[in-house]
Amino acid sequence: MSELTLVSCMFGGLLLLIFAGFHIFVALGLVTIAGVWAFSGSFDLAMTLLSTTLIEALREYVFAVIPLFVLMGEFLARSGAAKDLYRVMNKAFRRLPGRLAVATVAGNTVFAAAVGVSIASAATFTRIAYPEMKQQNYNDSISLGCIAGSACLGMLIPPSTLLIIYGMLTEMSIGKLFAAALIPGLALATLFALYVVGLAIFRPEWLGETKGNDQVQYNEEPLGRVEYIGGLGTICVIFLVLGGIWFGWFTPTEAAGFGALLGFILALIKGLKKDQIVESILHTGRVSAPLLLLLIFGSFYGRLLAFGGVIDLVDGVIGGWGLSPGMLLVVMVFVWFIMGMFIDSNSIILLSIPIFAPIAIAAGYEPLQFAIIAILAIEAGILTPPLGLCVYTVKAALNDPAITLGQIFKGAAPYWIMLLILIILLVKVPMVTNYLPSIM
């Protein structure tokens, strides 16, 4: 059997297991064992490679980063800090048109940095922001599209779980990845906010700005001391954690531990009860364990690709197509969009990056540039119909049968377009991603 046939069988088997309902890490493990066995002719070698990967992965200090950042986000989310943050942002932008939508974008920007997961941001802000928008007569499609679109910032604004996974898979500096993502993340949030303000100016009735000829009155409760502590405290936690990494005060793992401690202190100030603290810790385990298993078996899968020369083989096949670097990237982005319709973002990273990253770098893309482009494209994938995961999360959190998926997809479409615009910008101007890491 030729190497190309073996590789085709390997990827075909992987897709078959995924669509048959097997968990991603199980599918990766089975295919990798079978692949190493087929390439080497030795089942013992396959099991030795698996055991070596498991031992090395469990000894990695950096593996503590994910559960610690997840724990920080859990403390902030369960303490009610997200709602406080939203209300503080709403008050800060009270003079802007479309203030509630702008507050949603701004709140999601900070909260995304706290939790690092877009799905969590989408579910949280659907429950917090949508009722407020509904009260002020916002168009349902506009308000829910804003929540789904801005929730995607969770993948890009550091400390993003996807950036951590990307760094572990490619052995890149997580600190430099965080720095590379900051300017694009803030640029994307600004673009989202400008779109909302423009919409409020030219279509004010869609954002509750006018009702007939009368201005809609928004009955806002005054902010108390506790709300300010929760909202501004969340912002301070993020700045201290990320600032500590960028200024060299902490390693990413130490910063994650410091962030979890600050989140715990803020949660205590906010009055988080003992049973809620215990539930935060338990939920952190439930979220982190599958991610760590994915990482372990993703590393195992990456070793198969290196062991069998799969990357060189795929590179040779794609090179035979004669694609320019631009067209090569278009093909990769298209693949990410398709994958985003069916599987979660973490799995997309694990399945595609070990193959795509070396090929893209060989084609002339800077490593940090390609990393952020990949994250953005995967972000866009979870907004892509018919199975955009972020849109489905908003729909599930809403629990309103009167709102259709089509309405949410329609409202999220402009944010999808803005993601593509930023991808094009990063392709043309790599310095956007490389500037901050270069001065660290």
DSSP H/E element including 371: helix 367-381
pLDDT at 198: 92
How many Cα neighbours within 13 Å face the side chain of 47?
A: 3
For the chain, which ranges sit under pLDDT 70? 1-4, 7, 57-62, 115-117, 209-221, 306-312, 314-315, 317, 319-320, 341-342, 387, 440
pTM of the predicted structure, to 2 decimals? 0.80
Question: Which residues, including other chains, have CB under 8 Å from residue 55's CB and lie 6 or more apart?
Answer: none
Residue 38 lies in a domain: no
DSSP 222: P
Distance between CA 76 and CA 229 in Å, rounded? 12
Residue among 1, 61, 12 at smallest CA distance from 37: 1
Distance between CA 166 and CA 311 in Å, rounded? 17
Distance between CA 4 and CA 12 in Å, rounded? 12
Residue among 113, 122, 117, 108 at smallest CA distance from 159: 113
The amino acid sitting at 4 is L
SS3 of residue 399 by DSSP = coil
Q: How far is CA 298 from the centre of its chain?
A: 18
pLDDT at 419: 92
pLDDT at 308: 65
Cis before 401? omega within 30: no
Q: How far is CA 189 from CA 15, 77, 348, 422, in A?
A: 35, 21, 24, 11
Residue 5 lies in a domain: no
Range list of β-strands (E), 299-371: none
pLDDT at 191: 93
Residue 114: exposed, middle, or buried by beta-carbon count in 10 A (0-12, 13-18, 19+)?
buried
Residue 207 lies in a domain: yes
pLDDT at 3: 62
Contact 130, 140 (CB under 8 A): no
Question: Which residues, including other chains, have CB under 8 Å from residue 183's CB and lie 6 or more apart?
Answer: 432, 433, 435, 436
Residue 46 lies in a domain: no
Question: What domain count does the chain have?
Answer: 1
Distance between CA 149 and CA 384 in Å, rounded? 11
Residue among 393, 353, 387 at smallest CA distance from 370: 353
State which residues form the domain around 252.
Answer: 60-438
Question: Which residues, including other chains, have CB under 8 Å from residue 80's CB and lie 6 or more apart?
Answer: 230, 270
Distance between CA 89 and CA 267 in Å, rounded? 19
Contact 311, 359 (CB under 8 A): yes
Residue 13 lies in a domain: no
Distance between CA 412 and CA 142 in Å, rounded? 8
Residue 370 lies in a domain: yes
The amino acid sitting at 152 is C
Distance between CA 60 and CA 71 in Å, rounded? 19
Distance between CA 109 and CA 129 in Å, rounded? 14
Cis before 414? omega within 30: no
Residue among 200, 194, 165 at smallest CA distance from 378: 165
pLDDT at 215: 42
Contact 153, 109 (CB under 8 A): yes
Distance between CA 201 and CA 229 in Å, rounded? 32
Residue 238 lies in a domain: yes
Residue among 197, 266, 214, 210 at smallest CA distance from 237: 266
Residue 30 lies in a domain: no
Pull the structure tokens for residue 440: 């660290």
Pull the structure tokens for residue 373: 């482009």
Distance between CA 14 and CA 25 in Å, rounded? 10
